[in-house]
Amino acid sequence: MSTPIPPSLQIIPVPGIPEINPGDDLSNLIANGVTQACGLLEGDVLVVSQKVVSKAEGRLVTVDPDDPLAHKPLVLDEARRVLRRRGDLIITETKHGYVCANSGIDRSNVAPDIAALLPEDSDRSARRIRDAIKGQLGVSVAVIVADTFGRPWRRGLTDIALGCAGIKPILDLRGTDDAVGRELHVTEVCIVDELAGAAELVRGKSTGVAVAVIRGVDPAWFGSGSVVEDVVRHPSEDLFR
Amino acid sequence: MSTPIPPSLQIIPVPGIPEINPGDDLSNLIANGVTQACGLLEGDVLVVSQKVVSKAEGRLVTVDPDDPLAHKPLVLDEARRVLRRRGDLIITETKHGYVCANSGIDRSNVAPDIAALLPEDSDRSARRIRDAIKGQLGVSVAVIVADTFGRPWRRGLTDIALGCAGIKPILDLRGTDDAVGRELHVTEVCIVDELAGAAELVRGKSTGVAVAVIRGVDPAWFGSGSVVEDVVRHPSEDLFR
């Protein structure tokens, strides 16, 4: 019993979103940028860089521009606990539950005297953007707030989802049949992380493209859910902390 | 100093690849399937499921179909060491250096009396497919052999690259300027993992779609490299093992 062949996906970069400052109406700027780039269709997934969300929400702290380690005390402020340290590298579990370097604080794509913190609640940020897009353009989309994280065991970074709205973060394929009819026992795919990574492929790091649209995803993926509640693994279930 | 806006990416599922048996000419079957689905263009990325590679290469072991744990002794045979155990779950470092559950052995999408091992050398498998596609269709593509792995700290699985050919696995953005002109210090993006995850979004788990084509990637990404050499992190550099 196979399900139908899925259609192609398209991943579209959205340029033209200006430099964001605290208090800017990010959703409005995204709506305008997307309208110029490709429009929005019911069922599109909008992937938004954490950095512009943090800027719009004023999650910025002034630091000494001449001290490359000036943001390190903030790392501990934003952490629930420190998991590992090696030299200047600090791996923490953040207040939200993410495990990442430097509590997700970084100083790229901001002014030299600024450090950007993660949004307070990226799921809420995603819901706000989703609601505002619905209000302004009349279209229901899913929204993912994405950031670039390292991971153990493998070199190189990938983009993952910090928050989401309007989409099921994890697709539960348990109990569906695989291609030869055997029941799949443990296949829960984290589609929001795969979508965030896919968007990174067109956003790049240096292009100032803070938003991408992913078009053509399975309508069955839409629904409700939260990255922090559904994706972040509770420490008691985790073997590597 | 921004780089130009990247173009859209397209992720195209390739149906029509039949059930694979040991000794089958997988590259020929992929070439035929892709030709029917969308053709191949110079610079396309072909993402191929590990399972069909393992089947074609005969990496199959007969196990007791009535014993759901019959493949567990194989897990230890394929491991360099065991990192964690909890109940039936064994997390190992495989002979290749991957860290994953059950040494990557699984019993989905195979007959009930079969367990599929990972390919012996997935980078070599990718090179063979790339060379055969070039020979048969005259087109240079990148090839990624992808599998579905769990990860610590986050629930849900994502597809990652086991091997690759014709593409730089990690895009080194160190030393390029970010959007506000600050030098990026540590941004090495693992594009082969993001491409593998993107392909999973159209391949699904239950559809028998073992191959996807990703079209429109930056030509600068093409080159040489190996997942095992470039992505797999050496245990001495790893903080979580």
Nearest to B155 among A11, A173, A233 (CB): A233
Given a cut of 60, whether residue A2 has pLDDT beyond it is: no
Given a cut of 70, whether residue A34 has pLDDT beyond it is: yes
Average pLDDT estimate for A199-217 = 87
The CA–CA distances, whole Å, from A160 to A180, A186, A192, A197 equal 31, 21, 7, 6
Given a cut of 70, whether residue B175 has pLDDT beyond it is: no
Question: Using the 8-state DSSP alphabet, how is residue A231 labeled?
Answer: I
Tokens standing for residue B47: 């993402």
Closest to A50 (Cα-Cα) out of A130, A106, A113, A134: A106
CA B55 remoteness from chain centre: 15
The CA–CA distances, whole Å, from B91 to A30, B81, B110, B192, B231 equal 42, 9, 22, 23, 19
This model of the complex carries an ipTM of 0.94
The pLDDT tens digits of the residues spanning A106-138 come to 888 889 999 999 999 999 999 999 999 999 999
Q: Which domains does chain A have, with CATH numbers?
A: 10-58+119-233 (3.30.1330.100), 60-118 (3.90.1660.10)
HEC secondary structure over A11-33: EEEECCCCCCCCCCCHHHHHHHH
Q: Give the model's pLDDT for residue B2.
A: 47
Average pLDDT estimate for B56-70 = 94
Asked whether the CA dihedral B128, B134, B137, B143 is positive or negative, the reply is: positive
Q: Give the model's pLDDT for residue B181.
A: 58
Cα A225 from Cα A206, distance rounded (Å): 31
Q: Give the model's pLDDT for residue A109.
A: 83
Residue B202: partners with Cβ closer than 8 Å, 6 or more residues away:
A6, A7, A8, A9, B11, B12, B13, B209, B212
Q: Give the model's pLDDT for residue A206.
A: 62
Q: Please, what is the average pLDDT of chain A?
A: 91
Is A211 at the interface with chain B, CB within 8 A? no
The pLDDT tens digits of the residues spanning A65-102 come to 999 899 999 999 999 999 999 988 899 999 999 999 99
Q: Is B138 in a helix, a strand, or coil?
A: coil
Chain A stretch 138-167, residues whose beta carbon is closer than 8 A to a beta carbon of chain B: 148, 151-160
Chain A stretch 95-124, residues whose beta carbon is closer than 8 A to a beta carbon of chain B: 98-99, 107-112
Cα A92 from Cα A81, distance rounded (Å): 6
Which residues in chain B are contacts of A2 at CB distance < 8 A?
Answer: 206-208
Residue A174: pLDDT band by 50, 70, 90 thresholds? low
pTM, full prediction = 0.95
Average pLDDT estimate for A203-212 = 80
| Contact yes or no for A232 and B155 at CB 8 A | yes
| Contact yes or no for B178 and A9 at CB 8 A | no
Element (H, E) at B201: helix B191-203
Residue B8 — φ and ψ, nearest 5°? -65, 150
Which residues in chain A are contacts of B154 at CB distance < 8 A?
Answer: 160, 190, 193, 231-233
The pLDDT tens digits of the residues spanning A155-170 come to 999 999 999 999 999 9
DSSP for B50-76, written as a single string: HHHHHHHTT-EEE--TT-TTTTHHHHH
Question: Using the 8-state DSSP alphabet, how is residue A167 labeled?
Answer: B
* Owner of token pair 């990174």: A200
